[in-house]
Amino acid sequence: MGKDVVTVKNLSKMYKLYANGKDRIRDALSPGGKKRYKEHYALRDVNFTIGQGETVGIIGTNGSGKSTILKLITGLLTPTEGEIKVDGRISALLELGAGFNPEYTGIENIYLNGTLLGYSKEEMKSKIDSIVEFADIGDYVNQPVKTYSSGMFVRLAFAVAINIDPEVLIIDEALSVGDIFFQSKCFRKFEEFKNNGKTILFVSHDLGSIMRYCDKVVLLNKGHMVKMGEPKEIIDIYKKILVNQYDEDDDDYGNAEGTSLEQLAAMAKDDGIVLWRDNFGVNPTVLDYGDRRAEIFDFCVTDSKGIITNSVEKNGIFNIKVRVRFHEAADDPIFAYSFKDRMGNELTGTNTLFEKSDVGHVEAGEVVEVTFTQRMTLCSGEYLVSLGCTNYEGVDFVVYHRLYDAFNVTVVSHKDSVGFFDLNSEIEVKRIVKSN
């Protein structure tokens, strides 16, 4: 990558929270007097840099400061502490309709936005056709935007943001609005931007898009920056946060504390259990976490003949087998697996809850063996399989144990297909003879 385009250094944003309006007025009239507010830090001591041409995603739970940091970078908010440096013209699509006058027509708002971004009227005239074509909202472009649906609003806003040739494009979750055809067009524009060396910074809850498009990911949690790194690593940490299994004092990407796989193996052998994974290819650096009330200690894949293998023939029947030891009693625990590609994109998976296969009550000390049997419809290639044992306790989702990328599966096929899945099409071709 080239030069640093965005630099965020020791960035903090604090809001004053007042109990009532009177305290706000008193504080304004006597700034050096008694403090009548509580300090709330939306962001605290955040640091990162983004290089030219990089696409960087920002993820985190609601209230983690994602939108706040974008507004600070674009200058809509002023930092409480720290500094931000941006080298290049920014185009931002933040809150729906931000920068639009509802009384103006779409065309008038295009010129208005161009003026706010520093373009002359003549410069915007040269861009108007491409903006209108991309927005594709028909005659509504000549109507006041207050008559627009939310979908039309964001189509026009995105068309303006992406067609004015910025050096830095910043987007906050806007692409979740609009139909699938518009979203596809937007992501094609992303690809074009990346290929042209532009810098993109965007917030999204769509982890698939984060994985696919981002070179790096920033993870925020409760206003603090957890880490910046490769998409797969950061998304795995984020998943731990989502189920309250992340401890800031632990190594960000380390394994959960609990009984080691070797200790669990020894316990199994004491019980006379012959381990499948002794004859199975296992990931030596598997990421695991959970509260460990139940622990996955053995797993494998078998083909239709019951042979343990990491290779599966396409369209063949295969089994995923899992053994879990319960340290505490549980009612209807959920067992799951998922397939991912080598980039970390989840492709498919299921669990006993989805399949309506109730497990029932499990006593402490019991070992449960689960077998998933299915037909392999993935196309040929290498895939990673993750395993999980979870549950619902009332409305709370709990993770007993998860193993990310526990092992690989190689799908072997003599037939080529496009993408990840084969629909096993049956083809009929007819020749229509033209009559004289």
User: Which residues make Cβ contacts (< 8 Å) with residue 122, sequence separation at least 6?
Assistant: none
- DSSP for 116-149, written as a single string: HTT--HHHHHTTHHHHHHHH--GGGGGSBGGG--
Residue-level pLDDT at 174: 62
Distance (Å, whole) CA 302 – CA 376 = 12
Per-residue pLDDT at 12 exceeds 90: yes
Model confidence over 103-141: pLDDT tens digits? Answer: 999 999 999 988 877 788 888 999 999 999 988 899 999
**pTM for the full predicted model:** 0.81
Per-residue pLDDT at 251 exceeds 60: no
Any alpha helices (H) in 30-179, and if so which ranges?
66-74, 106-116, 121-125, 128-135, 150-162
State the burial class of residue 183 (Cβ atoms within 10 Å of its Cβ: 0-12, 13-18, 19+).
middle
Residue-level pLDDT at 183: 79
Per-residue pLDDT at 314 exceeds 90: yes
Model confidence over 28-65: pLDDT tens digits? Answer: 777 766 788 888 999 999 999 999 999 999 999 999 99
Chain centroid, CA 19 distance in Å: 36
Nearest to 54 by CA among 235, 200, 233: 200
Structure token pair of residue 227:
């880490």
User: What average pLDDT is seen over the chain?
Assistant: 88
Q: Token match 């690809």: residue?
A: 191
Domains in the chain (CATH in brackets) are 4-242 (3.40.50.300), 261-412 (2.70.50.60)
Distance (Å, whole) CA 368 – CA 372 = 13
Phi first, then psi: give them for residue 273, nearest 5 degrees.
-90, 125
Task: Yes or no: say if 416 and 430 are a contact pair by the CB < 8 Å rule.
Answer: no
Residue 249's pLDDT band (cuts 50, 70, 90)? low
Distance (Å, whole) CA 73 – CA 167 = 14
Per-residue pLDDT at 434 exceeds 80: no
Distance (Å, whole) CA 277 – CA 356 = 28
Per the DSSP assignment, residues forming a β-bridge with 154 are none
